[in-house]
Amino acid sequence: MIQIQNLHKSFGNLTVLDGISMDVLDGQSVVVMGKSGQGKSVLLKLVTRLLFPDSGKIIIDDDDLGSISGKKLDEVRLKFGMLFQSAALFDSLNISDNVGIGLRAYNRYTEDEIQKTTEESLARVGLTDVGDKYPAQLSGGMRKRVGLARVVAMRPKYILYDEPTTGLDPVTSSQIAMLIKDMQEELKTTSIIVTHDIPTGFFLADHIVLLEKGNFSFSGSVEEMKKSDVKSVKDFIRGYHEEADLKNRAYDS
């Protein structure tokens, strides 16, 4: 379980997060939506303690991130995997080495075990026979799949997604969103998904929050958000149409 309690974060005179609180239950998929520049990616960096909050607490399975360090912090971080906006692959490494890099860094697996896990992880995201290729040889959607395979290879309890469909065409975006959904259901992971892509957010969310001006202007289910009379919510989802919903696309494909 992830507990975020009264979290504040500013950069100089710019207040990014102004006292947000939420719980992410085990097995739950929470989508954080909002316009660009509202602090969504900052929240993910705080949850993994790549940034420090100005005040407030983040508690991961009863461990307060603000009070741990060293080996204990490393243990907590190993519970997390993250899919970055750009997939963040290493151009100088082939695909197999990109997927297996975390396993090698962990230094607890033989090369045979790493190779087996790498192949299984790539197959899980629908990629085979690409292990010897390099990132530049793959499409944007394929690189995103490789990034997800690298996350899955580490078997994390929590997966954080930072704009997983940004820069992809609508068809590829739908494919990536459905793949993420499959991974969640198969691996029973707990997820925080940051996105401003409304169809993707609605498709993936068990619970959804809207981040605006440093706090949550909405917190609830997808259906509650669709029916909300809150002006900021209505403004954000203006132009959304049910036929664009990825659930419908999934059934039609």
Q: Kindly state the helix (H) or strand (E) to which residue 247 belongs, with its residue range.
A: helix 246-252
19 touches 3 (CB < 8 A): no
CA–CA dist 233, 223 (Å, integer): 12
What is residue 252's predicted lDDT score, i.e. its pLDDT? 46
Question: Among 55-59, 202-206, 219-223, 249-253, where is mean pLDDT lowest?
Answer: 249-253
Q: Binning pLDDT at 50, 70 and 90, where does residue 65 land?
A: very high
Handedness of CA 34, 35, 40, 41 (dihedral sign): positive
Q: Binning pLDDT at 50, 70 and 90, where does residue 84 land?
A: confident
What is residue 67's predicted lDDT score, i.e. its pLDDT? 92
Name all domains of the chain by residue range, CATH numbers in brackets.
2-252 (3.40.50.300)
Q: Look at residue 155 and tell me whether its pLDDT is greater than 80.
A: yes
Q: Binning pLDDT at 50, 70 and 90, where does residue 245 land?
A: low
Average pLDDT in the 204-214 region? 94
Q: Look at residue 249 and tell me whether its pLDDT is greater than 80.
A: no
What is residue 220's predicted lDDT score, i.e. its pLDDT? 95
What is residue 244's predicted lDDT score, i.e. its pLDDT? 62
What proportion of the chain, given as a percentage, has pLDDT over 70? 94
Q: Who has greater pLDDT, 38 or 245?
A: 38
What is residue 246's predicted lDDT score, i.e. its pLDDT? 64
Q: Which residues contact 10 (CB under 8 A, 6 or more apart)?
A: 16, 54
What is residue 38's predicted lDDT score, i.e. its pLDDT? 85
Q: What is the mean pLDDT of the chain?
A: 90
What is residue 49's predicted lDDT score, i.e. its pLDDT? 92
| Residues composing the chain | 253
Q: Binning pLDDT at 50, 70 and 90, where does residue 161 land?
A: very high
Question: pLDDT tens for residues 185-201?
Answer: 888 899 999 998 898 99
What is residue 98's predicted lDDT score, i.e. its pLDDT? 96
Q: Look at residue 243 and tell me whether its pLDDT is greater than 60.
A: no
Q: Look at residue 239 and tell me whether its pLDDT is greater than 90.
A: no
139 touches 60 (CB < 8 A): no
CA–CA dist 189, 186 (Å, integer): 8
Q: Binning pLDDT at 50, 70 and 90, where does residue 171 land?
A: confident
Q: Which residues contact 105 (CB under 8 A, 6 or more apart)?
A: none
